[in-house]
Structure 1
């Protein structure tokens, strides 16, 4: 997604700046904050409209599916049409989705709002990342890594606080997000265009998803940690508040928001802390963090102890950020530059499916065996995947040591 040398100058002859990169970072944070804002509201929606946990997880999952499908076909759209027009389209669609949530009076509205939100975020994701990379070559990659995680974290936290302590709990957070999006849309024309598509270029929306042959063995070895991380993320953002309410016994939207806040916030912070460390260390921290954190969370559920559940989420969050960073660092150097876009699309397919499909299965399972039993089974799978990833990383380390006994 990095801009080519032909795009390094802006269309008006100006030079991209750190301030411009920060603006685009702010837009990305608002998008991801909006994505997690409904999380603390889910139990309240269920209480008011009386729908099942299966439908709740479907409302969560359709966002992921819509985002994934849109990202696959629009990933190169800003390369073909410019950053600003594509970002403007995405912001307008996101603002429209906030309007749908404001008007919602039943689960059908929530499904429509989440689908529209997924399309908007799918369009925005690659365009905003490319705009940040264009605008600040040094800090752009870090912004694109931590921005989404911090956006999801603070969106869930502030939504939980507003739902718990402010008026109009089903509306206020969306009104504030709508206001922020409209302000950003009004400010966007002040930014300088950093992509200059060739004249007469034909629009192509052909999906490109491919794992190059040279990458497959490495991806197979480390992908369990990514699946575990995103599966835990999907569970936390969909059923986490219900877990706090039904199993722990705390009927507080603020607590549900705190649980959804900790995982991405600690994940983003672990990326910042470990960004200069070796890839193998990041993968080890990822595997151990997810396994140990999930185990602590299950003990917290068994003991009905909120503090232990939050501690486990914090430990798992460390594994989430470190593990995902380690996976990206492992596979991207093995692909040629011309293959990396398709490779990252393939990785995101794995991540979004890992977040949505298991959450849907868990939502259906709660109808049969209950939320607590479902949590034990789900957590066991996450721990198993994390351990499998650790076996792969440790085994690779031993193979390298045998191959280079003097190193």
Structure 2
């Protein structure tokens, strides 16, 4: 690792980068419990809600395509600092949002910041410590989304001016992290070709492509579930539970992402292939229980099923990531992470928009049943493909 002057140790650097990843994902899920307040104030539809949500994902995807490999040329630290500045700007827009247009602008800038930071953070974590870096890459996003959703729900329930205080707190956190970033050691050397790297592309290293194609079906199912849960999930939870409490939506998101984090901690030392297969089975099982809970308006079945799906999400995501991270050289890691997360966020956003369109025709209840049944079918197809004896995903 390259170090000059007063620098953080490897362990402290790992913790700092992990906290930044948690912060970005907490900020990404924080608006979800606030959408009900915004809808009540501005009167927009479920389709508009999913558009607002998906603007974030599309901006993130665009940033990954354009800036995903930038840290391989410019260095990890500078790119992460740039993203932190943009993230603070997006939070200031949220803080002063007074219309759907301003909400879309805030989400777009937030997506841009998160897209720029995603591959740089992921690559920096692996540069510092491949084993623990891959673990943080898997578990930190889940913890972050859980903190953002549940923390905001608590503020909506109990704090004054929840649409202000959550973003004020996040701004303080990111400013402190930006100050600490100046002491992070750089892990790659600058090299020529930075302008050429900005041409939009998904540059998957040749040696990782077969494995990526194998994990893509289950990874698509996982992220489609995540997109639906963070956009329409809180509204669906209120229908199933017949409760209008903001905490219901927050708990629905937390049940998914926090059990994902717990599953990652459990499976992190198991062979990637076994983890992927087990995660896919858990995802499909959770879908069955969740669908039964929705159909019978059973809050218990709904939350139990969501927790089982979360375990499948965590295991599947960890297995996918661990199958890939060791297949790229250090100078290719930014590209690989950008490609992997580009495909992930495409699955995160497009199905959510389609679900928002369907809500206008069929209602949220019927749309949720059809959408989740579709994800379950994709998970079963992925399971059938993975159990075939084909090369790609490493057994260990």
TM-score past 0.5 threshold: yes
The CA deviation at 1:333 is 5.8
1:261 has 2:254 as partner: yes
Aligned match of 2:379: 386
Deviations 1:244-279 (A, max 9, x none): 223431111111011111212211221111111122
Deviations 1:360-403 (A, max 9, x none): 01111111110000011101101101111111122338x99xxx
Unaligned runs of 5+ in 2: none
The CA deviation at 1:170 is 1.6
Aligned match of 1:20: 13
Q: Which moved more, 1:136-145 or 1:276-285?
A: 136-145
Residues 280 and 312 in structure 2, CA contact (< 8 A), matched pair in contact too: yes
The CA deviation at 1:9 is 2.3
| Separation in 2, partners of 1:187, 1:222 | 36
CA gap 1:83/1:283 in 2 versus in 1, 3 angstroms: closer
Q: For 1:343-354, what aligned pairs fall within 5 Å after superposition? A: 343-354=336-347
Q: The residue matched to 2:182 in structure 1 has which SS?
A: helix
Q: Which moved more, 1:75-84 or 1:119-128?
A: 75-84
| Separation in 2, partners of 1:282, 1:53 | 35
TM-score (norm 1): 0.89
The CA deviation at 1:219 is 4.2
Q: CA RMSD in A?
A: 2.5
Q: Which moved more, 1:108-117 or 1:254-263?
A: 254-263
Aligned match of 2:241: 248
CA gap 1:216/1:230 in 2 versus in 1, 3 angstroms: same
CA gap 1:389/1:136 in 2 versus in 1, 3 angstroms: closer
| Separation in 2, partners of 1:156, 1:272 | 21
CA gap 1:392/1:104 in 2 versus in 1, 3 angstroms: same
Aligned match of 2:263: 270
1:299 has 2:299 as partner: no
Aligned match of 2:136: 143
CA gap 1:282/1:135 in 2 versus in 1, 3 angstroms: closer
Deviations 1:27-48 (A, max 9, x none): 1111110000011111221111
Deviations 1:129-166 (A, max 9, x none): 23333444552222222111211111111011111111
Q: For 1:134-213, what aligned pairs fall within 5 Å after superposition? A: 134-198=127-191, 202-203=194-195, 204-210=197-203
User: Which has the greater radius of gyration?
Assistant: 1
| Separation in 2, partners of 1:17, 1:216 | 30
Deviations 1:336-382 (A, max 9, x none): 77766544433323211111111101111111110000011101101
The CA deviation at 1:25 is 1.4
CA gap 1:280/1:24 in 2 versus in 1, 3 angstroms: closer
| Separation in 2, partners of 1:98, 1:374 | 32
Q: The residue matched to 1:170 in structure 2 has which SS?
A: helix
* Aligned equivalent of 2:26, options 33, 36, 54: 33
Q: The residue matched to 2:232 in structure 1 has which SS?
A: helix
Q: Which moved more, 1:139-148 or 1:337-346?
A: 337-346
| Separation in 2, partners of 1:337, 1:185 | 24
| Separation in 1, partners of 2:129, 2:215 | 30
Unaligned runs of 5+ in 1: 1-7, 401-407
1:312 has 2:305 as partner: yes
The CA deviation at 1:187 is 3.0
Deviations 1:61-101 (A, max 9, x none): 11111111101221222232233322221111101111111
1:367 has 2:360 as partner: yes
| Separation in 2, partners of 1:226, 1:393 | 12
| Separation in 1, partners of 2:274, 2:79 | 38
Q: Which moved more, 1:67-76 or 1:336-345?
A: 336-345
Residues 274 and 282 in structure 1, CA contact (< 8 A), matched pair in contact too: yes
| Separation in 2, partners of 1:337, 1:77 | 13
